[in-house]
Amino acid sequence: NKSGITLGTFYNDSKPQFSATRGTNVSVAFKLNGYVFGGDFSYTRLWATYRTYRQIGDFTLAFKLMAGGIKSSDTSNFIPVEDRFYSGGSTSVRGWNRAALGPKRESGSPLGGSSVLESSFEVRFPLFWRLSAVAFIDAGNTWQQEYTYRLNDLAYAVGPGLRIETPI
């Protein structure tokens, strides 16, 4: 039995909207679970993402920083699987499989964490038509302890990529 309230705010002045070359995008959200409407699990979840884009000639520099934490007030310290943080994959730390970073179960499958820190820096360059090239460096990880960020534990990925802009 799980119930909660999520509050969030969002600021975005990046342009163009779907393939930004300039501006800033900030989001902050807070989830209060179990305290207001009852439930089996009581915890708070806070996470924020900051993105900025700068165009220099034909190049676009893109930076992302995301951090979050979960704190349980139950004696069990249980956080439902769907609310834990996971890191790794195409929208996170590229070069790592989806949810491959952070705590693992004995079977080796991802356990999810109570803390997450991710960062990304990209250099984008248009090639032709709707095709562009990108070079990136990503860093990130999740940790089982709440609001714990060990920079020595960060995993890194560096690589190139091709992107095609679609209407979807």
> Residue 2 — very low, low, confident or very high, per pLDDT cuts 50/70/90?
confident
**Rounded to whole angstroms, how far apart are CA atoms 84 and 97?**
17
- Residue 27 near residue 48, CB atoms below 8 Å: yes
> Residue 103 — very low, low, confident or very high, per pLDDT cuts 50/70/90?
very high
SS3 40: coil
**pLDDT tens, 6-23?**
999 999 999 998 889 999
In this prediction, residue 156 carries a pLDDT of 97
Q: Taking the mean position of all CA atoms in its chain, how far away is CA 40?
A: 27
Torsion from C-alpha of 30, 10, 50, 72, nearest 10 degrees: 0
Higher pLDDT, 17 or 98: 98
**Rounded to whole angstroms, how far apart are CA atoms 120 and 25?**
14
- Residue 82 near residue 99, CB atoms below 8 Å: no
**Rounded to whole angstroms, how far apart are CA atoms 116 and 92?**
11
Put simply, whether the predicted model's pTM sits higher than 0.95 gets the answer no
In this prediction, residue 145 carries a pLDDT of 94
Cis upstream peptide for 16 (omega within 30°): yes
**Is residue 36 pLDDT above 90, yes or no?**
no
**pLDDT tens, 120-133?**
999 999 999 999 99
In this prediction, residue 168 carries a pLDDT of 75
Please give the single-letter amino acid code of residue 13.
D
- Residue 27 near residue 49, CB atoms below 8 Å: yes
> Residue 28 — very low, low, confident or very high, per pLDDT cuts 50/70/90?
very high
**Is residue 98 pLDDT above 80, yes or no?**
yes
Which H or E element spans position 65?
A: strand 59-72
- Residue 110 near residue 136, CB atoms below 8 Å: no
SS3 107: coil
**Rounded to whole angstroms, how far apart are CA atoms 155 and 103?**
13
